[in-house]
A and B are shown apart, each in its own frame.
Chain A
Amino acid sequence: MNVIAQGQGELIQPPDLEAFREWNRTRKARQLVDKVMTEAEAVAQFVADGCYIGTELYGTVRCPMSLTREVIRQRKKNLRVCGQGVLELDLWLAAGLVSQLDLTYVGLEVFGTSHALRRAVEAGAVTCVEWSNGAIAWRMKAAAMGVPFIPTRAMLGSDTLAHSAAIVATDPFTGAPVCLLPALILDVGLIHVHRADRFGNAQIDGITGFAFEMARACKRLILSAEEIIATDEIRAHPDRTIIPYYLVDAVVPAPFGAHPGEMAYCYERDDAVYREWIAASVTAEGALAYLAKYVDRVPDHRAYLDLIGEQRLAELRVA
Chain B
Amino acid sequence: MADPTYSKSELMICVAARLFQDGTTAFIGTGIPMLAAMLAMKTHAPGVVPIFEFGGTGAQPTQLPNMVGGARTFERAIAASGICDIMEAAQRGFIDYGFIGGAQIDPFGNLNSTVIGAHDHPKARLPGSGGGNDVGSLCWKTVAIMLHDKRRFVPRLDFITTPGYLTGPGAREAVGLPKATGPVNVVSTLALMDYEPASCRMRLRATHPGVTVAEVIANTGFDLLIAEDVRVNEPPSVDELRLLRAEIDPERLYI
Contacts and interface: CB of A to CB of B under 8 A. Distances in A.
A109 interface: yes
Interface stretch (A16-24, A31-39, A204-212, A307-315): A204-212
A48 interface: no
A319 interface: no
B-side interface mostly: loop
A206 B133 contact: no
Given A160-B162, A262-B71, A122 B87 contact: no
Interface residues of B, number: 57
Nearest to A206: B80
A176 B177 CA distance: 10
Interface of A: 57-58, 60-62, 86, 103-107, 109-110, 113-114, 117-118, 121-122, 124, 127-128, 130-135, 137-138, 141, 152-160, 163, 168, 176-179, 206-213, 262, 264-265, 268-269
Given A105-B129, A156-B175, 17 more contacts: A61-B67, A105-B130, A130-B114, A132-B133, A134-B84, A152-B91, A157-B166, A159-B160, A160-B161, A163-B114, A168-B175, A168-B176, A206-B80, A207-B69, A207-B74, A209-B82, A262-B67
5 contacts: A107-B126, A117-B125, A121-B122, A134-B83, A210-B54
Contact of A159 (B91, B119, B253): B119
B124 interface: yes
Nearest to A212: B82
B84 A213 contact: yes
A134 B69 contact: no
Nearest to B162: A158
A156 to B, nearest CB: 5
A176 B74 contact: no
A48 to B, nearest CB: 26
A314 B157 CA distance: 48
A118 B128 contact: no
A207 B55 contact: yes
